Structure 1
Amino acid sequence: MKSVKVAVVDDHELVRSGLVQLISSFEGYEVVFNAPGYDETINKVQDGFIPDLILVDIHMQGKNGHDVAEWLNKNSPEVRICALSMFDNESSVLKMLKNGARGYLLKSSSCIELKNAMDSIMEKGYYYSDLLTGNLLHSIQNGRTGKDRRVELTDKEIEFLHYACTEMTCKEIAAKMYLSPRTIDGYREKLCEKLQVESRLGLVLYAIKNRIVVLGEC
Structure 2
Amino acid sequence: MKIAMVDDHNLLRKGLANLINTFEGFDVIFEATNGKDFIEQLAINPIPDIVLLDINMPVMNGYETADWIRKNLPETKTLVLSMLESDLAIIRMLNLGAKGFIIKDSHPDQFRSALVQLRDLGFCMNEDLSGRLPDKSLTDSPGTWSTPIPSFSEKELTFMRLSCSELTYREIAAEMGIGHRAVDSQRDSLFQKLNVSNRVGLVLYAIKNGIIMV
- TM value normalised by structure 1: 0.85
Q: Does structure 1 residue 59 correspond to structure 2 residue 53?
A: no
| Aligned twin of 2:166 | 167
| Amino acid of the structure 1 residue aligned with 2:9 | H
- Structure 1 distance, partners of 2:176, 2:70, is 28
The RMSD of aligned alpha carbons is 2.3
- Contact 2:134–2:195 under 8 Å retained in 1: no
SS of match in other structure, 1:211: coil
Q: Does structure 1 residue 116 correspond to structure 2 residue 91?
A: no
| Aligned twin of 2:128 | 131
| Amino acid of the structure 2 residue aligned with 1:123 | D
- Contact 1:146–1:195 under 8 Å retained in 2: no
Q: Which runs of 5+ in 1 are unaligned?
A: none
Shift of 1:149: 4.6
- Contact 1:103–1:121 under 8 Å retained in 2: yes
Q: Does structure 1 residue 84 correspond to structure 2 residue 77?
A: no
How has the CA–CA distance of structure 1 residues 41 and 150 changed in structure 2, closer, same or farther, with 3 Å as cutoff? closer
Shift of 1:99: 0.8
Alignment of 1:1-218 (within 5 A): 4-47=1-44, 49-136=46-133, 140=137, 148-214=147-213, 217=214
**Higher deviation after alignment, 196-205 or 172-181:** 172-181
| Amino acid of the structure 1 residue aligned with 2:18 | Q
**Higher deviation after alignment, 148-157 or 12-21:** 148-157
How has the CA–CA distance of structure 1 residues 183 and 161 changed in structure 2, closer, same or farther, with 3 Å as cutoff? same
Shift of 1:47: 4.8
- TM value normalised by structure 2: 0.87
SS of match in other structure, 1:6: strand
Over residues 142-168 of structure 1, what are the superposed CA-to-partner deviations in whole Å (9 max), with x where a residue is unaligned? x9x866155222233123212211102
- Structure 2 distance, partners of 1:127, 1:104, is 7
Over residues 50-85 of structure 1, what are the superposed CA-to-partner deviations in whole Å (9 max), with x where a residue is unaligned? 111100011223432111111111222221000011
- Contact 1:157–1:191 under 8 Å retained in 2: yes
- Contact 2:160–2:202 under 8 Å retained in 1: yes
Over residues 115-140 of structure 1, what are the superposed CA-to-partner deviations in whole Å (9 max), with x where a residue is unaligned? 11011112111101111122226653
- Structure 1 distance, partners of 2:45, 2:161, is 35
